Amino acid sequence: MPNKTYYNMKTKKITLFLSLGLLAAVTAKAQNGQAPVFGGTVGKTLDDSKEWWPEPHKAPAGAPNILWILLDDVGFGATSTFGGIIKTPNFDTLANNGLRYTNFHTAGICAPTRSALLTGRNHHYVHEGGFSHVILSAGFPGYDGRIPSDKGTIAEILRENGYNTFAVGKYGLTPDEDATDAGPFDRWPTGKGFDHFFGFLGSATDQYKPDLVEDNAHVTPDGRHLTDQITDKAIFYLTRQHKAAPDKPFFLYYAPGATHSPHQVAKEWSDLYKGQFDSGWDDFREKVIARQKQLGIIPRYAKLPDRNPRIPAWKTLPDAEKKLYARFMEIYAGYLTYTDHEVGRLINHLKQSGQLDNTLVFVIIGDNGASKEGTVHGVINPKKNSSRLATEEAYLKTNIEDIDDIGTPQAATNYPLGWAQAANTPFKYWKQDANSEGGTRNPLIVYYPKGIKDKGTIRTQYGHVIDLLPTTLEYTGIKLPEYIRGIKQDTIQGTSLVYSFDHPEAKSKHVLQHYYIFGSRSIYSDGWKAEAAHHPDNVELGDFKVGQNVPDKSFDEDTWELYNLNEDFNERIDLAKKYPEKLKELKAVFEAQAQKNNLYPFIDWYDVYHLRIHKNYKK
């Protein structure tokens, strides 16, 4: 019969085996985001107890830093990097040493784009069909403006995997009701995975007197331009982190307010463009499309769409109007070049600190197309001269008188429609138009010195903002956690773009994508696109029609168009009548996507303007 020593040895082996198994299970649970189960032993005294500590979160060995840069309301054809006239030398450098994606897409307006970008899921699916603002949200799953916790952000995922996470600039996803110093703070950036945040919670703010927040409290701005402040703060966060933990990677989300209105910038920047837009928006479009062809940004066969009928031909304008409109564009151009300069400051800091070579950089030049929100004549000071309070003649007269205020801290500048279409060259339509490439197609730069081999080349694979999260995870070797802070996570909807990094000839893997913004809608399927504009849009509702009501229109009255983007990339030839069965097929696909992604009930700008949503809203 075995002796007592045998049993003790056997018991110890079994205990050790079970302890190792328990430790592995505990570690696995911790890596999946679940709260770890205690893996030690608790006895009556310390002598018969065993301590246990969970393994700290660590990023994969050699994992790169991640920098996401998202600009606002820029337009496809604005930057020199993608064929525009406006100088963006720092973007040029990143693109010339990285990749230019020319077939990349956003949601068509800011908050939907940002929610889709940060979660890797379609914007209605994460409840951001409109905005998180009271007047632009509704009590339905697709529209309440509250991203669910089971749809974690890139910041939450990376923090779970050993990254420090920072955000500066525009956030835009905190419900208005929560955006006070009393919170709650779970939908502030720090509640969505960011260790630190410095910027503004809303959709727009004055660049010299911003509604400024740091972490979980409003703070007083220092009087400098906001982009200067957020760049300094980003550098401060990175410097402090690198000193404390030089081997720990960071994720930085850098999202300046530029070039969303108000267009405000120091005179030294706008004066760089003095007289350069005197030839007008028609000439601008012609020059840009020629440059885009030369750079290979667009196909050689491309032609400009007709000037929008809302926009007058430049040559027909009186001299006073030409002078006014040219000044608007000088301000916008200076604002964009200044923003590029601030990005350059950030990149230079990473270079000087020895971190740039191991930093994977994504630059999205605009969260939608160029803004159509500046009216036909532009906006200088809406409080002084509102289109709802003045006739068109009085509005224009006041703008001409106030020309010297354009771009200054006391003005809330936005350029006129003519420049919006010019900045969107070679596309038609603008921001908010989810039916149009002009509303949803934005340039993307991918830069990574250690990993991008085919430097300075162009990629034409179809992409969407929901793709950057899975691209980042694949490239870093990080898997989506099954749980984040104890909450089981939903699946990601985006498609990684890593397959295209080294293979310019690779076929697109993202082959299906729907779009919907306040009535305008479309469906893309493997090169074909069906789309429907919806009226009245917000330009019609906000036009100079004092005392006149614009009638509501049924969605059934909308006209669907059909385009083959493989042969007609900027939607000039409507094939709806030629291929009615194809249109019918795509409309059915859109319907399936609408049901799956919480697009119903359809809500449009008429509902917004007439305060038909968000029952708690008070005038």
For every residue of 183-197, DSSP letters joined together read: ---TTSGGGGT-SEE
Domain of residue 123, CATH code? 3.40.720.10
Indicate whether 353 belongs to any domain: yes
Q: What is the pLDDT of residue 507?
A: 98
Q: What is the pLDDT of residue 20?
A: 41
Give how far the C-alpha of residue 150 lies from the chain's centroid of Cα atoms, to the nearest Å.
21
Give how far the C-alpha of residue 135 lies from the chain's centroid of Cα atoms, to the nearest Å.
21
What is the DSSP secondary structure assignment for residue 273, as one 8-state letter? G
Q: CA-CA distance, 240 to 237, in Å (whole number)?
A: 5
Indicate whether 553 belongs to any domain: no
Indicate whether 305 belongs to any domain: yes
CA-CA-CA-CA torsion sign (150, 153, 158, 160): negative
What is the side-by-side order of every strand in the sheet holding 65-70? 217-218, 213-214, 196-200, 164-170, 250-255, 65-70, 359-364, 444-447, 99-101, 457-459
Q: CA-CA distance, 155 to 414, in Å (whole number)?
A: 32
Q: What is the pLDDT of residue 538?
A: 85
Positions of the chain with pLDDT lower than 70, given as ranges: 1-33, 383-390, 543-548, 616-619
Alpha helical stretches, state H, 128-273: 154-160, 226-244, 267-270
Q: CA-CA distance, 292 to 300, in Å (whole number)?
A: 9
Indicate whether 333 belongs to any domain: yes
Pairing type for strands 213-214 and 217-218 reads antiparallel
Contact 207, 225 (CB under 8 A): yes
Indicate whether 156 belongs to any domain: yes
CA-based nearest residue to 538, from 392, 424, 417, 423: 417
Q: What is the pLDDT of residue 7?
A: 42
Q: What is the pLDDT of residue 394?
A: 86
What are the beta bridge partners of residue 379? 414
Kindly state the helix (H) or strand (E) to which residue 592 belongs, with its residue range. helix 580-596
Q: What is the pLDDT of residue 26?
A: 46
Residue range(s) defining the domain that contains residue 382:
65-510
Q: What is the pLDDT of residue 16?
A: 41
Q: What is the pLDDT of residue 2?
A: 46
Coil, strand, or helix at residue 41?
A: strand
Indicate whether 542 belongs to any domain: no
Contact 72, 65 (CB under 8 A): no
Q: What is the pLDDT of residue 386?
A: 60
Angle between helices 319-352 and 392-401 (to 10 degrees): 60
Angle between helices 319-352 and 89-96 (to 10 degrees): 50
Indicate whether 248 belongs to any domain: yes
What is the DSSP secondary structure assignment for residue 271, as one 8-state letter? G
Indicate whether 606 belongs to any domain: no
Backbone angles phi, psi at 445, to 5 degrees: -115, 135
Coil, strand, or helix at residue 22?
A: helix
Note the pLDDT tens digit of each residue in 304-340: 999 999 999 999 999 999 999 999 999 999 999 999 9
Number of domains in the chain: 1
For every residue of 527-570, DSSP letters joined together read: TEEEEE--SS-HHHHHSS-TT-PPPP--GGGPPEEEEETTT-TT
- The 10 Å Cβ neighbour count of residue 457 is 14
